[in-house]
Amino acid sequence: MKQKLILIAGPTASGKTKSSVQLAKRINGEIISCDSMQIYKGMDIGTAKVTQEETEGIPHYMIDLLDPSEGCNIAWFKDEVEKAIKTIAAKGKIPILVGGTGFYLNAILFDTQFDETEEDTSYRKELEALADIHGVEYLHNKLKEVDPTSAKAIHANNVKRVIRALEYYAQTGTPISSHNASEKEKRAAQVSPYNYQFFALDMNRQTLYNRINLRIDQMLEEGLVEEVRHFYDVGLPEDCTSMKAIGYKEFFPYFRGEMTLDACVDKLKQNTRHFAKRQLTWFRHQSNPIFIQVDQLSFDADAIVNEMSKYLQNIVD
């Protein structure tokens, strides 16, 4: 029998936190955050991390696991989420995954295999050096030799992806294009190890953008700039994984005296709106969830959960 699982996704300010807590209370569930930035300690305001009060006593997993100086990749993240799913299931409760990008959610839902077990970065550094010495076309030609399909799909200027494809071939002896094709077929066939239901919270675009702007204004009042400044002051580099998060990277130019605070805030709002749009596009074309129009339900958590309940007979029975 497949493990039961519920996923609730949606852009920021769509009501995921309240709705997921109410659903967990109703169906005897526990919550796993799939926001890859909420795993970092101290990154609270910018990630809209659930507060102790907001949990209403419902256990939450995948929060505050790492120091912001530590790296995190999707293979590790997926493994930790799977451990949390097993922990919750062992209690006789239903795991509820909340938040995250479509890419991360699909990886969990369809058990994507990344084969990222090797931590040796020496080959990557060798490839980076080759690109510096001989140029990006040299690397791209190396990729053509071992994986012409990937070489056709990846532009030579996208050095990071070219190197990743060469790394994958060196580690596994298999072209990454073959691996990706296999995973795509699995998703297309909706083959999942879980008995799941996937919900995406949606709303009118202008309403969404207005709520995002208001959410960011609220974060600023709560001390977002001071939160990010702390990480800047302790010397966290702008290119580390945690500081690449939306809500953090936008303020580094302000701290360096390169942009005004207002300009950085405007950039943050723009980036958040664009990210929300990309998320919803992904859900529509990749994940095939059930969309819940939360604006038509007045953003009321109980009404949202009532709507979800119509699709959960095979999960909660």
**Has 298 been labeled as part of a binding site?**
no
92 is an annotated ligand-binding site residue: no
Answer yes or no: do 241 and 131 share one domain: no
User: What pLDDT sits at residue 278?
Assistant: 87
Does residue 117 form part of some domain?
A: no
Residue 149 assigned to a binding site: no
> Which value, in Å, is the radius of gyration of the alpha carbons in the chain?
21
Q: Is 59 labelled a binding residue?
A: no
CA distances from 316 to 138, 161, 199, 281, 312 (A): 55, 42, 15, 29, 6
If asked whether residues 176 and 127 sit together in one domain, one would say yes
Residues 159 and 53 in one domain: no
Residue 173 and residue 288 share a domain: no
Residue 163 lies in a domain: yes
* Mean pLDDT across 43-61: 97
* The pLDDT of residue 263 is above 70: yes
**Is the residue at 232 inside a domain?**
yes
Higher-pLDDT residue of 134 and 188 is: 134
Q: Are residues 203 and 175 located together in one domain of the fold?
A: no
Note down the domain range covering 142: 122-185
Of 222, 264, 261, which is closest to residue 247 (Cα–Cα)?
264
- Percentage of residues in the chain with pLDDT exceeding 70? 95
Q: Which two tokens stand for residue 30?
A: 């526990």
Is the pLDDT confidence value at 140 over 70?
yes
Is 11 a known ligand-binding residue? yes
CATH number of the domain at 131, please.
1.10.20.140
Residue-wise pLDDT tens digits, 166-181 = 988 887 888 888 877 7
Q: What average pLDDT does the chain have? A: 91
Question: What is the bridge-based pairing of β-strands 60-61 and 29-33?
Answer: parallel
215-243: average pLDDT: 96
Kindly report the CATH number assigned to the domain that includes residue 303.
3.40.50.300
Residue 190's φ and ψ, nearest 5 degrees, are 55, 40
Q: Are residues 132 and 46 in the same domain?
A: no
Q: Total domain count for the chain?
A: 2
Tell me the pTM.
0.80
Instruction: Extract the runs of DSSP E, i.e. beta strands, from the chain.
Output: 3-9, 29-33, 60-61, 94-98, 194-202, 290-293
To the question of whether residue 47 is assigned a binding role by annotation, the answer is no
Please report whether residue 13 resides in a domain: yes
**Is there a single domain that holds both residue 78 and residue 197?**
yes
Exposed / middle / buried, residue 190 (Cβ in 10 Å: 0-12, 13-18, 19+): exposed
Q: Are residues 279 and 294 in the same domain?
A: yes
pLDDT at 117: 45
Q: Comparing 190 with 162, which gets the higher pLDDT?
A: 162
